[in-house]
Structure 1
Amino acid sequence: MNHHELRTKAIQIRMDLLKMIHGANTGHTGGSLSNTDIITALYYKIMNIDPKNPKWEERDRFIASKGHSVESLWCILADKGFFPKEELATFSQFGTRLIGHPNNKVPGIEMNTGALGHGLAISVGMALAAKRDGKSYRVFCLMGDGEQAEGSVWEAAMAGPHYKLDNLVGIIDRNRLQISGSTEEVMGLEPLEEKWAAFGWNVISIDGNDMEALVEAFGSVPTVPGKPTLIMANTVKGKGISFAENKPAWHHHVPNDAELEQALAELSASLEQLKLEGQVRG
C-alpha cells in the first residue's frame, strides 16, 4: 500500500473498532484510536507476515504490550484474514476468543499480554532467539506511555543494547494520557527520549499519527547496527474523533448511539477528503 491507501485503511479500521466497541458495550477506545496508525503501518506495509501461515518461522513478531488497547489489533487481524471478520461481533462476549486483551488462541497473536511491563522483556527474548538461531525476523513491541512507570520495562531496556539486538523495535504510544489523567501528573516520565538513549537505544521521535513518518521510521530498521531502536510515537488519544481527542475520560469510554453516529460521520468525511486528495494527485 502507498501512503494514501494506508491512511484510508487506518480510517476504516477506526470505524470498525468503534462499531465493535459500541456493539460489545466495552473496550478501550482512546488508546486504540491513538495506536491505529502505528499498527496499520506495521501490518499493511512493514512486517513480513502470512495470514495463511501464522506460525511461519521467518515471520516478523508483533507484541502488543499495551494489551488493553487491543481493539485496533483485532480489527486489523480480521481484515488481514487471520480469522473471519464476522467474529468481531463476538468481541468481549461470553465464550469468545476475542477478549479485551490479546489472546494467543487467536491466529496472529504471539502471546497473551495486558499485564503492563511484560511485553518488552518477552520481545527481548524473541529478538535474542532470532540472533542465536541465525534468523532474520524482527520484533516490534508496542508499549503505552503510562506503562513506562513499570520497573520491568527498564530491566528489558538494559538487556536490549547489552545483547546488541538491532532486530528489536520498541514503540511507545506517547499520547500523554492514562486512565487517571496526564502521565506527567500520575508519574512524570520526562525527559523520556533521553532516558531511552541513555540506556543505549537509538531513539527516533516522530508524529505517531503521520503515516509517512511511521513508514519511514519503521522502514529504516535496523537503523544503527548493534543497537535496538525506540520509536517515540507522539500520538493523540482518541485520534480522528473531534470530541474524543485528548480526553482522559475516553480511555475506556464506550460511545453511545449518538456519539457513534457522529464519530462515523466524521470518519466518513475524512475518507471523502482523502478520496478528493487522491483524485487531485491522480
Structure 2
Amino acid sequence: MTNAEKLTLAKHACHIRMGVIEGTHSAKCGHPGGSLDIAEVLSYLYFVDMNIDPREPKKPDRDRFVLSKGHAAPALYATLAERGFFPVEDLKTLRKIGSYLQGHPNMNETPGVDMSTGSLGQGVSAACGMALGAKHSGKPINVYTILGDGEVEEGECWEAFMFAAHYKLSNLCVMLDRNHLQIDGTTETVMNSAPLEEKLKAFNFNVLTINGHDYDQIESAIKAFHAENDKPTCIILDTVKGTGVSFMTNSVDWHGKGPNDEEYAAAMQELNAAYAALEQEEK
C-alpha cells in the first residue's frame, strides 16, 4: 500500500470518528469508545476490500458485514455514510424516535446493514450462516464480522467458532477487537479469555494478530484471509479503546455514554486538527 493510499484511508477513518462523535453527542448516549477504535479496519473494508455498491445495497453477490458487537453501531453508521449509503447529516438522528439509525443496527431500516445485531454472540452466529449459504450457492461472497473481546465471554461465540471450523468456512473472516475494556472494567478482571490465539487455533482457525490501527498490517492480514482455502480466519485486532480523542482513549468510562457540549467541542477540535494534519501531509 502506498503512502498516498494510507493517507486517504486515514482521512476516511478520521471522518468516521467525527461521525461517531456527532451521533453520540446528538443522541446524548451511545457507545463512542468501542466505535472509535475500529475506524481503521472499517475504512479498509469499505473503501478497499469489500465488494459492495452504495447504489445497490442489496445486490445478491455483495460481500456481507456483520457488526456482532452491535453497540458499536455509531462506527458502522459513520462508515456507511462516508461510503455514500446515506447522507452524513443523518448521523445526527442517532437513537431519535423515527430515525432509521437506532442504537443497534437494523437491517430492515438502514441501507447497507446486512444483519440486525445487539444481543452479543448472535452476530457471529448469523455471519456463519451467511458464509455457509454462500458456500452452498457456489458464490464468491466473503463474510466479515467484528466481535468485541468482552463479547467472546458469551458461550454462543464459541459454538459459532466450532461451527465455522467444522464447515471449513474459509470465506468467513472473524475480526476480534481486543481493546481489553468492557462496560464493567478490563476483560482480564471481568472474565479473562486469554490466551485467545491458542484457543482459536485449537478451534482450527487461521489466526493472525495485528495492530488494528496499522493499515499495512490490516492489508497483510486481509490478504492472508483471502489466501486461506481450508479454514476460517480470525484476525485479532490489538486496539486502544477511544482512539482519536485524547480524553476517551483507553478509558472504560467512555464505553457507553455520549459527550456533552463541552466534550463534543474538544473532541471535534482534536479530530479536525488531525484531519488538517493529514491534508498537510498529503501536499
TM-score (norm 2): 0.95
Q: Which residue of the partner structure matches residue 61 of structure 1?
A: 64
Q: 2:54 aligns with which of 51, 58, 65?
A: 51
Q: 1:32 aligns with which of 30, 35, 44?
A: 35
Q: Deviations over 1:103-133 (max 9, x none)?
A: 1121211121010011111111111111110
Q: Which residue of the partner structure matches residue 74 of structure 1?
A: 77
1:163 corresponds to 2:150:
no
Shift of 1:254: 1.6
Distance across 1 between alignment mates of 2:92 and 2:124: 30
Q: 1:41 aligns with which of 38, 44, 51?
A: 44
Q: Is the 8 A contact 1:181 1:248 kept in 2?
A: yes
1:214 corresponds to 2:214:
no
Q: Which residue of the partner structure matches residue 12 of structure 2?
A: 9
2:139 alignment partner AA: K
Distance across 2 between alignment mates of 1:31 and 1:119: 16
Structure 1, 33-42 or 201-210: larger mean CA deviation: 33-42
Q: Which residue of the partner structure matches residue 108 of structure 1?
A: 112
TM-score (norm 1): 0.95
Q: Sequence identity, in percent?
A: 46
Q: Is the 8 A contact 1:45 1:215 kept in 2?
A: no
User: Number of residues paired by the alignment?
Assistant: 279
Q: Is the 8 A contact 2:67 2:123 kept in 1?
A: yes
Q: Which residue of the partner structure matches residue 252 of structure 2?
A: 248
3-state secondary structure, aligned to 2:59 = coil
2:86 alignment partner AA: F
Pair 1:223–1:3, CA change in 2 (3 A): same
2:53 alignment partner AA: D
Structure 1, 100-109 or 83-92: larger mean CA deviation: 83-92
Shift of 1:142: 0.6
Q: Deviations over 1:194-241 (max 9, x none)?
A: 100110000010011112221221233223221110000010000011
Q: Which runs of 5+ in 1 are unaligned?
A: none
Q: 1:234 aligns with which of 220, 233, 238?
A: 238
Distance across 1 between alignment mates of 2:224 and 2:176: 17
What does 1:254-273 align with in structure 2 at a 5 Å threshold? 254-273=258-277
2:93 alignment partner AA: T
1:183 corresponds to 2:187:
yes
Distance across 2 between alignment mates of 1:253 and 1:87: 20
2:79 alignment partner AA: I
Q: 1:149 aligns with which of 148, 153, 161?
A: 153
Q: Is the 8 A contact 1:103 1:111 kept in 2?
A: yes
